[in-house]
Chains A and B, each alone.
Chain A
Amino acid sequence: MILTIAGRELRSLFLSPLAWSLLAVMQFILAWLFLVQMESFDLLQARLVTIENAPGLTDLVVVPLLGNVAIVTLLLVPLLSMRLISEELRSGTFSLLLSAPVSISRIVLGKYLGLLGVLGVILLISLLMALSLLAGGELDLGRLAAGLLGLGLVLAASAAIGLYMSTLSSQPSVAAVGSYGLLLFLWSINLAAGAEGKGSALFAWIAMPTHFDRLLSGLVRSSDLIYFILCISICLILAVRRLDTLRTRP
């Protein structure tokens, strides 16, 4: 049942020009940034030879690339997630799901999986770009895996936030604004962590980059994984609760 809903969601996303155009624009931007990184690596290469234990391709190209993907998708996810539920609420198609023998949690999970499917394509594209470097060099595959895991978790958490925001309003644009607000907040709250104070440790922990950066540097800590899992589950549970109240309140 979850897969049926996810399949319909994916199909609708790819039947609309939105997903294609977003993926195309994103790919263009990422390719450009990738080339810039390659260029700078090329310039540095001569000097790197002389240094002992010098940073390699993975440090100088792959990690910045994954960081860039995270930033670009931060801008894309709200546009993809905004219509997940709010469009159905607006056009009245949600009643099809409500009157079907499907629980709300399955509806939410189905929608979430559908969105993850699109984001999986983004992840795959990033992986292929990184792997293309194998043609002319060597990569630290362990670190690449850690970075990809981090990127995947960031995408999954952003998707969950976008999905929850989408249940709050029957206007997709409002849902998008909400997700942008929350995502940018989570990305920037650690800027305050630099200031000395009681709350700075908490701010640093709430911020997504704190955990993402550690994964990018190859450090897979269970506390960071728990942060993302917590973020995803809280948003999904809130989404289920919110949709449940739709029946009781008009």
Chain B
Amino acid sequence: MDPLIKTEGLYRYYGGHCAVRDLSFELYPGEVLGLLGPNGAGKSSTLRMLAGNLAPSAGNIWLNGVNLQANPIQATGGVGYLPENPPLYPELTVDEYLYYCARLHRVSRGVIDEAVLTAKGHCGLDAVGQRLIGNLSKGYQQRVGIAQAIVHNPAVVILDEPTVGLDPIQMREIRSLICGLGTERGVILSTHILPEVQATCSRVLILHQGEQAYAASLKHDVGPASGCFLIRLAEPPELDALTAVQGISYADQLADGHYRLYLEGAECSAGKLIEQLVQGGWGLEEFIAEQPGLEQVFVRITTGEQSI
């Protein structure tokens, strides 16, 4: 399978400042790649380069197998891009705007109505087609921005902080939209919201000071590898009593009745542990397997506590 996006040794300098340093990665169809990093890590610069808005100082980009620098018109044809600030014309209505974007991306006149309708449906814009973009709320404007990026049915969708300014419900909708996009296309998105990466991305790339600091696959079907469980007990015992349970190497009291349990090796399963906790008669009310610690990784990398 050929990659949708392939970059090789990407550099970008702003004057003497190096914003992106030696970045190489690939994106395949069906993947959602999350670019994670603190402010100024080079996320937006990377995405702008991928979308053809910024020329790299060095390195190569292939979109759908076409070299972006050598053949920009052909290469950007199959790309939808949502910049940090959605590129909206406030004086146009949503329909006019999406129609214009579709025309810009060479959607033929025969299917343009359908394309606009589909994009509006995906982004929940059906009710506001006739309204002026300038009068819409920030969340709706963000949705129009996303609709603009997918209206021409691109193979690659590049989203720069797509859920900024959305309320939690809209955020969930957009996340499920992104997951839906990722089933057949390739999606690359930047964010600094960690749960967003965990909810939507199949792969994550952490950037730090323009360099790739960490890359990992986040397969949702893989169970927790952290060996950590969060529990809540109605009648909490002494901490020592918990630590004495077979299989627990260490217990940490987080709040009244809330504990984090660290397991002793892999031989102790969750089922056995629950059995023992119930036998203890402490009134087990909650038992949550803690997700792999992307946050710890992120914090460690970006604060330079220790290298991975």
Residues on A facing B (Cβ under 8 Å): 1, 4-5, 8, 11-12, 15-16, 91-103, 247-248, 250
Contact = CB atoms under 8 A, between A and B. Distances in A.
Nearest to A12: B91
B141 interface: no
B81 A95 contact: yes
A248 B92 contact: no
Nearest to B79: A99
A8 B101 CA distance: 10
B92 A95 contact: no
29 contacts: A1-B103, A1-B106, A4-B103, A5-B104, A8-B92, A11-B96, A12-B91, A15-B91, A91-B87, A92-B84, A93-B89, A95-B48, A96-B87, A96-B101, A96-B104, A96-B148, A98-B52, A98-B53, A99-B52, A99-B83, A100-B76, A100-B101, A101-B76, A101-B105, A102-B73, A102-B104, A247-B52, A247-B53, A247-B54
Given A96-B148, A98-B52, A103-B73, A4 B91 contact: no
Interface string B96-114: 1000110111100000000
A101 to B, nearest CB: 4
B233 interface: no
A99 B106 contact: no
Contact of B87 (A12, A15, A92, A247): A92
A103 to B, nearest CB: 6
A96 B101 CA distance: 8
Given A12-B92, A15-B91, A97 B54 contact: no
Nearest to A106: B73
A92 B85 contact: yes
B106 A101 contact: yes
Contacts of A11: 92, 96
A110 to B, nearest CB: 10
Interface string B11-24: 00010000000000
B100 A4 contact: yes
Interface of B: 14, 48, 51-55, 73-74, 76-77, 79, 81, 83-85, 87-89, 91-92, 96, 100-101, 103-106, 148
B88 A99 contact: no
B76 A99 contact: yes
Contacts of A15: 91-92
B104 A93 contact: no
A20 to B, nearest CB: 13
Given A8-B100, A96-B87, A98-B51, 20 more contacts: A4-B103, A8-B92, A12-B89, A15-B91, A16-B91, A91-B87, A93-B87, A95-B53, A96-B101, A98-B53, A99-B51, A99-B52, A99-B53, A99-B76, A99-B79, A99-B81, A99-B83, A101-B74, A248-B55, A250-B54
A93 B85 CA distance: 8
A95 B83 contact: yes
A211 B88 CA distance: 42
A19 to B, nearest CB: 12
Contacts of A8: 89, 92, 100
B81 A1 contact: no
Contact of B55 (A1, A101, A102, A247): A247
A103 B77 CA distance: 12
B54 A100 contact: no
Contacts of B106: 1, 101
Contacts of A101: 73-74, 76-77, 105-106
Contacts of A103: 73
Contacts of A248: 55
A138 B88 CA distance: 52
A4 B92 CA distance: 14
Given A11-B92, A103-B73, A247-B54, A95 B100 contact: no
A81 to B, nearest CB: 18
Nearest to A92: B85
- 5 closest Cβ pairs, A-B complex: A96-B87, A93-B87, A100-B104, A99-B81, A101-B77
A6 B89 CA distance: 15
Given A101-B76, A103-B73, A95 B51 contact: yes
A95 B88 CA distance: 10
A193 to B, nearest CB: 44
A91 B92 CA distance: 15
A96 B55 CA distance: 16
A4 B104 contact: yes
B55 to A, nearest CB: 4
Nearest to A5: B104
Contacts of B83: 92, 95, 99
B11 to A, nearest CB: 13
A153 B40 CA distance: 48
A93 B73 contact: no
B135 to A, nearest CB: 13
Contacts of B104: 1, 4-5, 96-97, 100, 102
A15 B79 CA distance: 30
